[in-house]
Amino acid sequence: MLPVTADTLHDAALYAGIAVLAATLSFAGPRERRRGPLVLAGIALVLLAALWVLKQWGTALPNRTLYDIAREGVLALLAVVVIRAVLQFVAGTLLARFNVPSLVVDVLLGLALIVYALVRLDVVGVNLAGIVTTSAVITGAIAFSAQEVLGALWAGLSLQAERTLRIGDWIRFDGSVGQVESIRWRTTAIRTHSKELVIIPNAKLIKEKVQIVSRTTGKAWPKRLVPFSADYDHAPGMVTRVVLEALSQAEIPNAVPGQPVTCYCSGFGESGIDYVVYYHVADYEDAKVSDSDILAHVFAALHRHGIRIPYPQRDVHVDRVSPEAAMRRELSARLQALSRIGLFATLTDEERNALAASLERHPFAAGDTLFRQGDAADSLYILSTGRLAIYDDAGGTRRRLASLAAPDYVGEMGLLTGQPRVATVVAEDEAVCFRVDKAGFDAILTRRPEIAEGLSLVLAQRQADNDATLAALPPEDRGRRARSRAVELVRRIRQFFSLHG
């Protein structure tokens, strides 16, 4: 029996003091790394108390073997606690800014425990030389059986030493794309977009191809590829120009601002021409959401310009609604949109039908720009569904002026007087507008020039109601100011449409 002496207890108290000191100094480091050293210091003090109990009353145990096991067990646990406390203090406090991987701490702990075991075996009188010389066969068998484990350990150390992968990186491996959550001594864990946890052996990671799609540093934003198709009726140059113009003006939250968006023709498919959009994504975890936003803007832009997204040519589609019925339904929607707008209240049914036939249906995705401040104008937009935001971009600083909800209209001065756009209009959400251009309205005003007077009164009244300088005027003064404006608007409308009389 090797009793617990006063020297042993003194040394144990010194080691426990080291754990307590490491816990105290850990308060100089990050708050989230203090809990571990404090818990380890508490365990060290409990083990020191257990060793003191063994010194006082352990010799009363009836079995020597039980006493030896208790003594060595307490000392081994104390060694583990003290070594881990020191390693956590060094890695988590002294070297916190270097972000030391947990795998390095685990390996150092293992090596330190091996050294402790060898020293302790020598203290209790075990002949290490005899064990080594008489168990060569057993040692070789153990080494052979553990070669896979050692290979995994070496792979983990290589990944950490070379900084091949880092916590937070997004990688593509063996068909899975996920964010690196942990790198242990044997495996690496990644979390996919669908929140599935994939465990990959480190030995496999260093042998096969790994694609790093996004670094956790955030200094280089990954590019995303979004494919789409368009029919053969339109030249690729026109399609790419339409898409690029729409995406350059769109507001996509997860796209990196200032980074160029590109669009290329990638091939000729069975049903249409294939294209791809490349853009930089800020947060790869939400990449699929921004891909969807890109496709929404592409769809709306193609639809506005009459570019069809093709169906597979091998499929047979049976339309349950006749073309005549579809045309009647579309005309009814246009007439309904016109009837909601007071600007066209003076039109006869025949004139309203003629104007409805000339309308162009324009869908807009959230963030799409209808027109910008200062653009040349000769059209008006009737908002059928959705919401629009109006901004003042003068001076290079955007200022929100108002918000329009369906049914409403915007751009009337451009249609009736050709005046350049005085504000920028952006779709706040998915919106559908009907576009009225000068060509469609010209024939109506030519046949009935007197309509211009009614239109001018409606426009003048609307301007007067929206003019901040008139907010404090009584209704009769506001009406007088509106009538004086109407005279000037009539003159400008007649001049723009070349009306005489």
Neighbours of 445 (CB within 10 A): 21
Burial of 21 (0-12, 13-18, 19+ CB in 10 A): middle
Q: What are phi and psi of 87, to 5 degrees?
A: -65, -40
pLDDT at 406 over 60: yes
pLDDT at 464 over 80: no
Q: What is the pTM of this model?
A: 0.54
* Tokens linked to 84: 């881990």
Question: Mean pLDDT over residues 102-114, rounded?
Answer: 74
Query: What pLDDT band is residue 292 in, cutting at 50, 70 and 90?
Result: very high
Q: Which pLDDT score, from 0 to 100, does residue 491 have?
A: 55
**Mean pLDDT score across all residues of the chain:** 78
Q: Which pLDDT score, from 0 to 100, does residue 242 have?
A: 94
246 in Cβ contact with 301 (< 8 Å)? yes
pLDDT in tens, 213-252: 887 766 677 888 999 999 998 889 899 999 999 999 888 8
Of 84, 117, 91, the C-alpha closest to 18 is 84
Most confidently modeled range among 13-22, 87-96, 104-113, 465-474? 13-22
pLDDT at 469 over 50: no
Q: Which pLDDT score, from 0 to 100, does residue 317 have?
A: 57
Query: Helix count (H) and strand count (E) of the chain?
Result: 16, 16
Query: What pLDDT band is residue 480 in, cutting at 50, 70 and 90?
Result: low
Domains of the chain: 6-134 (no CATH), 162-214 (2.30.30.60), 223-304 (3.30.70.100), 324-448 (2.60.120.10)
Of 325, 438, 328, 340, the C-alpha closest to 384 is 340
Q: Which pLDDT score, from 0 to 100, does residue 156 have?
A: 61
**H or E stretch covering 500:** none
Q: Which pLDDT score, from 0 to 100, does residue 247 have?
A: 93
Query: What pLDDT band is residue 370 in, cutting at 50, 70 and 90?
Result: very high
Q: Which pLDDT score, from 0 to 100, does residue 28 have?
A: 75
Tell how strand 170-173 and strand 211-214 pair up: antiparallel
| Integer Cα distance of 444 and 354 in angstroms | 8
Q: Which pLDDT score, from 0 to 100, does residue 468 have?
A: 47
Question: In the chain, pLDDT over 70 holds for what percent of residues?
Answer: 75
Which stretches within 270-348 are classed as H helix? Answer: 287-304, 323-339
Q: Which pLDDT score, from 0 to 100, does residue 215 have?
A: 79
Question: Mean pLDDT over residues 149-156, rounded?
Answer: 60
| Integer Cα distance of 83 and 109 in angstroms | 7
